[in-house]
Amino acid sequence: GENVEQHPSTLSVQEGDSAVIKCTYSDSASNYFPWYKQELGKRPQLIIDIRSNVGEKKDQRIAVTLNKTAKHFSLHITETQPEDSAVYFCAASKGYSTLTFGKGTMLLVSP
Amino acid sequence: KAGVTQTPRYLIKTRGQQVTLSCSPISGHRSVSWYQQTPGQGLQFLFEYFSETQRNKGNFPGRFSGRQFSNSRSEMNVSTLELGDSALYLCASSDDPTGGWFNEQFFGPGTRLTVL
């Protein structure tokens, strides 16, 4: 089955810095790659996603890149703010409603 | 539209008991997926239901089962509870995915199950 590796497990940055979280996946048939943000005690919420026919997608301070050849995708957050502090999960899917998640990255943004 | 709801929000059970969790999807969503979230294993896929049929299943023992009703509401059941079943159980709903593409999943708040 699909396996998703996520790094780093924790990431501490200063407010205003950029943050990058990287994921690799094993199944070349995967075609959808969402990123979820989960604040303490809250439900995961989708922040950005990318499909396999696109190499990059941006939404304000957040961007995702996908390298299908390397089976690698990354989340980039620019101008980080304290409210960006949360656990971020990457995931991969090859269809229908089955997501394989990475283990998560705890991002801490210090003022 | 109202979001995904789950009941109960918290449960405490003892080993050997069984438990039933409920999930009401967003109106119009026919797909409901269940995930187990633990600190050590992260988010793991349990199963997915679409139009009252189990369409996908993760690598969990047969003690974990589910069903979906005609109104798309779903329940999951865990029998013979073990200490390791303590976790946050999340359900998520989505529109009917077509053409092999995946549609966004919207998560519920989860049910926190503690097994003593």
In sequence order, what are the residues at sequence separation of 6 or more whose Cβ sits closer than 8 angstroms to the Cβ of residue B87? B36, B37, B38, B113
Q: In whole numbers, what is the pLDDT of chain A averaged over residues?
A: 94
Task: Tell me the pLDDT band of B100, cut-offs 50, 70 and 90.
Answer: low
Judged by CB atoms closer than 8 Å, whether chains meet at B104 and A51 is answered as no
Q: Which amino acid is at A62?
A: I
- The pLDDT value recorded for residue B62 is 96
Task: Give the Å distances, CA to CA, from B68 to B22, B54, B96.
Answer: 10, 8, 15
| Of residues A69, A44, A42, A41, the one with CA closest to residue A55 | A69
At B105, the pLDDT band (50, 70, 90 cuts) reads: confident
Substitution target from B29, B44, B102 for chain A, most A beta carbons within 10 A: B102
- From the number of C-beta atoms within 10 Å of its C-beta (0-12, 13-18, 19+), residue A32 rates as buried
Per-residue confidence (pLDDT) for residue A54, from 0 to 100: 84
Q: Give contacts of A96 with chain B, Cβ < 8 Å.
A: 31, 48, 50, 55-56, 97, 102
Q: Is the peptide bond prior to A111 cis by the omega test (within 30 degrees of 0)?
A: no
Residue of A nearest to B56 (CA): A98
Q: pLDDT digits over B8-61, tens only?
A: 999 999 999 999 999 999 998 988 999 999 988 889 999 999 989 998 899 999
Please check the confidence at residue A110 and state whether its pLDDT lies above 80: yes
Share of chain B above pLDDT 90, in %: 78
Question: pLDDT digits over A41-88, tens only?
Answer: 999 999 999 998 889 999 999 999 999 999 999 999 999 999 999 999
